[in-house]
Structures are given as structure tokens and as C-alpha cells.
A = this chain, B = another copy of it.
Amino acid sequence: MPSKPFAFSAKAVIKDAQGRFLLLRRSASSKHNAGKWDLPGGKADVGEDLDQALIREVSQETTFTVRLERVLGAAESETPVKKIAYLIFEAHFESGEICLSDEHDAYAWVSPSRLDEYDICPQFRQFLKERIAGGGL
């Protein structure tokens, strides 16, 4: 049985000086996970490397310029027709004032201790909880 094809996405954990990290709320019109809180980032275009895709997506979604620091982990989600593999990076904020695109309707800088207050996209819940419990964020 052939398996579903994979698509690839890169996501960023961007922290502020207080150790809070940025979540974006997906617009009500989103095809998947509408209204849930998401990490910044998104899919690579054809032929685009994941690091360049992530820097581009973060810029489109927030106007932030970021520098990718290190790989934090991975995650996976599934649609009826494909699987999505996520590579999650820690990104250093370099410049910008946040300005959201149509993809999101709210943003929040979230302390690790307040993560449970947010309805986070299921594919990132386990990752964020494990990394916070493990002290890696």
C-alpha cells in the first residue's frame, strides 16, 4: 500500500527577553485548525530549503526578521491526502514590529507556565509540553 506523500514545513519558537514565546492564532477562515494557536512558520515552496522558507514565512506572518539558531524538534500532522513533517527551530528575533497577515487574527507572547491556557494546534502540543517540562525552552 503506498503511503501518503509528505509535505514539509518549518516552524519557529521565537522568544522575547522575558522567555515568553510567540504564538499566532489561526484565522476563523483557516482550512485546518481554525481558531487554534500555532507556531509561526509554514510550508516550503517547491525547491525552497526549509530554513529559507521559515525566514520568509515568519516575515510574511509577523514582519519579523529572525535568525535561526538551532533545531529544537520535529512533529507531524496528517490531512486526508498527505502527511506534513515539521522541523521546529529556535529563532532569534532580530528586528520588526509585529503586524499580522490575514492568516492570523491574534498573537500572544506566552510564558511556559501559561501554555495550558491556549488551545494549541494538536501537532505541537506534545512538543511544546515536553520541551517546557524538559527545560529546553
A contact set with B: CB distance below 8 Å: 2-3, 5-6, 8, 46-47, 49-51, 67-76, 83, 85-89
Contacts and interface: CB of A to CB of B under 8 A. Distances in A.
Contact of A74 (B2, B8, B69, B88): B88
Contacts of A47: 46-47
A65 to B, nearest CB: 12
Contacts of A8: 49-51, 87
21 contacts: A3-B67, A3-B68, A3-B69, A5-B51, A6-B49, A6-B51, A6-B68, A8-B49, A8-B50, A8-B87, A47-B47, A50-B85, A51-B85, A70-B76, A70-B83, A71-B76, A71-B86, A72-B74, A73-B73, A73-B74, A85-B89
A132 to B, nearest CB: 16
Contacts of A86: 71
